[in-house]
């Protein structure tokens, strides 16, 4: 089998979306003749947004995992704010106080490209040891945190390796980037890091065509043909439940975070109108994860609090269970720069749950195109409240007759983690151009 060194900060028992992509790659790559060796951070030293120990069982026995030390400032940050988890994009911090604003400034100007950069030195030393001991010639680094890409950059300069950089998110174009209030020198240093990674990586993988277009523009030295798109996806083995919604409730589920900048209010207003119209139907809007206080306050303000349920972050398998027991699923494309290229990772698990999806976002975004392609629901812009309400009314009327709005086709299957690992294997083995 061909050996592949995988360098990832997020790895079980880390929870959250970030760990899913690389875990599933590693899970299925051995079936295509590739043996991953994984370097990650020690659990007791890591700064994880959440924990999910159920994911540990998905690591293949054949895969060796090496955990290293790290040096990070987040321990002090957590103690001062009384937090047990670490925000990765401020989606869970709500309206920041003065100390939080100050900490962002410190983060943006002293810890470049990010506050996990203290891991670079430790992971680099372990990577050198494995490359030499195991005679490994191909390395895959995945981010965020984008400091992980600096490990690949250092390895590329020291060894004649084939370096693949996988970026789930933009770097300096991420929507919350300006929250760090970078000074001139810090921003230039970060831009230089980003450009060096894009210019020196042998291949780059990202999750959407729009992100690929964004990356190509970073330097005139970047060959577009070396950038590949492998979207996020779903693991068929996670969706072995019945897929039947429970009871006679019309349950609308959202998984993950619902920050204020998601601006879901057009949907909430439409839902309120529908609940007032259908007094004979029991509705429930369920968020499994977290929501900004501004969102939950608005739900209460318009009188939907009796129809609302907030379930704090759960394990991945439990989140899937909630999806399968839903009537329909609600997806929001947040409003910010480059929003059209954002394809929420949860979309693919929504598809795998076979539930009708109601999406709020730009009609020409890539997520909307995937929903259309899979005939799995509809997307509405925020100024299309009347059409959105009509669609919800249509779904409720169908449900009253059949109690089932499940999507019957299998068009989503091309987005399976198995198929994506097959794509990645082709890139690693130079079987694609």
Q: 104-155, pLDDT tens digit by residue?
A: 667 666 778 988 999 999 999 999 999 999 999 999 999 999 999 999 999 9
How would you class 415 by CB atoms within 10 Å of its CB: exposed for 0-12, middle for 13-18, buried for 19 or more? Answer: buried
Cβ(356)–Cβ(408) under 8 Å?
Answer: no
d(CA 357, CA 378) in angstroms, rounded, equals 7
d(CA 359, CA 349) in angstroms, rounded, equals 14
- Residues 166 and 250 placed together within one structural domain of the fold: no
pLDDT band at 360 (very low <50, low <70, confident <90, very high): very high
How would you class 44 by CB atoms within 10 Å of its CB: exposed for 0-12, middle for 13-18, buried for 19 or more? Answer: exposed
- Residues 382 and 285 placed together within one structural domain of the fold: yes
In 3D space, the residue among 19, 15, 17 whose CA is nearest the CA of residue 38 turns out to be 19
- Residues 424 and 348 placed together within one structural domain of the fold: no
Residue 49 tokens read as: 């947004």
Residue 380 counted as domain residue: yes
Residue 201 counted as domain residue: yes
| Beta-strand runs (E) in 182-327 | 203-206, 227-229, 249-258, 282-291, 308-312
Mean pLDDT confidence for 341-363:
95
Residue 158 counted as domain residue: yes
What domain count does the chain have? 2
- Residues 203 and 60 placed together within one structural domain of the fold: yes
Domain that holds residue 70: 2-233+416-428
Which pLDDT score, from 0 to 100, does residue 180 have?
74
Which pLDDT score, from 0 to 100, does residue 74 have?
56
Residue 215 counted as domain residue: yes
d(CA 114, CA 77) in angstroms, rounded, equals 14
Output the CA–CA distances (angstroms, integers) from residue 174 to 178, 214, 261, in the order listed.
9, 11, 14
- Residues 48 and 156 placed together within one structural domain of the fold: yes
- Residues 131 and 82 placed together within one structural domain of the fold: yes
Number of Cβ within a 10 Å radius of residue 165: 27
Mean pLDDT confidence for 182-204:
91
Which of 55-59, 147-151, 242-246, 347-351 bottoms out in mean pLDDT, i.e. has the lowest?
Answer: 242-246
- Residues 183 and 244 placed together within one structural domain of the fold: no
- Residues 334 and 207 placed together within one structural domain of the fold: no
Cβ(422)–Cβ(32) under 8 Å?
Answer: yes
Of the two residues 72 and 400, the one the predictor is more confident about is: 400
d(CA 130, CA 6) in angstroms, rounded, equals 11
Residue 252 counted as domain residue: yes
Q: What is the pLDDT of residues 227-237, one digit of tens each?
A: 999 999 999 99
Average pLDDT, the chain: 90
Residue 433 counted as domain residue: no
pLDDT band at 84 (very low <50, low <70, confident <90, very high): very low
Which of 41-50, 57-66, 190-199 bottoms out in mean pLDDT, i.e. has the lowest?
Answer: 41-50
Residue 375 phi, psi dihedral angles, 5° rounding? 50, 50
- Residues 276 and 180 placed together within one structural domain of the fold: no
Cα 345-248-330 angle, rounded to 5 deg: 20
- Residues 299 and 361 placed together within one structural domain of the fold: yes
CATH number of 124's domain: 3.40.50.2000
| Cα distance from N-terminal residue to C-terminal residue, the chain | 22
In 3D space, the residue among 336, 345, 385, 377 whose CA is nearest the CA of residue 358 turns out to be 377
Cβ(5)–Cβ(140) under 8 Å?
Answer: yes
Q: Has residue 378 got a pLDDT over 50?
A: yes
Which pLDDT score, from 0 to 100, does residue 242 have?
59
Mean pLDDT confidence for 313-342:
90
Residue 293 phi, psi dihedral angles, 5° rounding? -60, -30
pLDDT band at 86 (very low <50, low <70, confident <90, very high): very low
pLDDT band at 14 (very low <50, low <70, confident <90, very high): very high
- Residues 289 and 377 placed together within one structural domain of the fold: yes
Q: Which distant-in-sequence residues (6+ apart) come within 8 Å of 192 by Cβ?
A: none
The distance from CA 272 to its chain's CA centroid, rounded to whole angstroms, is 29
- Residues 377 and 317 placed together within one structural domain of the fold: yes
311-315 long-range CB contacts below 8 Å, 24 or more apart? 311/286, 311/287, 313/15, 313/50, 313/288, 313/289, 314/288, 315/15, 315/52, 315/53, 315/54
Which pLDDT score, from 0 to 100, does residue 246 have?
57
Which pLDDT score, from 0 to 100, does residue 431 have?
81
In 3D space, the residue among 307, 306, 300 whose CA is nearest the CA of residue 285 turns out to be 307
């Amino acid at each position: 089998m061909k050996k592949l060194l995988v360098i990832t900060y997020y790895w079980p028992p880390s929870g959250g979306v970030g760990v899913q992509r690389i875990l599933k790659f590693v899970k299925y790559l051995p079936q295509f003749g590739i043996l991953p060796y994984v370097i990650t951070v020690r659990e007791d030293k890591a700064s994880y947004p959440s924990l999910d120990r159920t994911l540990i069982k998905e690591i293949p026995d054949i895969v060796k995992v090496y955990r290293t030390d790290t040096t990070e400032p987040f321990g002090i940050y957590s103690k001062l704010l009384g937090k047990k988890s670490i925000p990765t994009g401020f989606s869970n911090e709500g309206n920041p106080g003065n100390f939080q604003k100050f900490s962002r400034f410190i983060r943006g100007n002293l810890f470049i490209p990010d506050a996990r950069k203290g891991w670079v030195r430790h992971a680099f030393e372990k990577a050198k040891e494995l490359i030499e001991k195991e005679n490994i010639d191909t390395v895959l680094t995945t981010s965020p945190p984008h400091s992980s890409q600096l490990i690949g950059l250092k390895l590329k300069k020291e060894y004649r390796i084939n370096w693949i950089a996988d970026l789930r998110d933009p770097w300096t174009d991420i929507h919350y980037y300006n929250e760090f209030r970078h000074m001139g020198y810090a921003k230039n240093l970060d831009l230089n890091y980003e450009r060096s990674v894009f210019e020196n990586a042998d291949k780059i993988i990202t999750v959407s065509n729009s992100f690929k277009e964004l990356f190509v523009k970073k330097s005139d030295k970047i060959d577009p043909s070396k950038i590949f798109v492998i979207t996020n996806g779903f693991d068929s083995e996670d969706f072995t439940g019945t897929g039947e919604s429970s009871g006679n409730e019309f349950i609308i589920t959202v998984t993950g975070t619902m920050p204020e900048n998601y601006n879901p209010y057009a949907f909430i207003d439409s839902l309120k109108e529908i609940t007032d119209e259908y007094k004979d139907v029991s509705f429930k809007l369920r968020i499994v994860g977290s929501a900004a206080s501004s969102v939950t306050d608005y739900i209460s303000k318009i009188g939907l609090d009796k129809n609302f349920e907030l379930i704090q972050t759960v394990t991945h398998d439990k989140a899937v269970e909630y999806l399968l027991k839903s009537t329909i699923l609600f997806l929001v494309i947040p409003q910010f720069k480059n929003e059209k290229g954002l394809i929420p990772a949860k979309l693919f698990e929504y598809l795998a749950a076979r539930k009708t999806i109601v999406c709020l976002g730009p009609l020409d975004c890539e997520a909307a195109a995937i929903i259309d392609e899979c005939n799995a629901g509809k997307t509405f812009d925020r100024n299309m409240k009347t059409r959105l309400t009509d669609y919800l009314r249509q779904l409720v009327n169908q449900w009253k007759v059949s109690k089932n709005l499940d999507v019957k086709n299998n068009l989503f299957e091309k987005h399976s983690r198995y198929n994506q690992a097959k794509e990645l294997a082709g890139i690693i083995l130079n079987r694609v151009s």
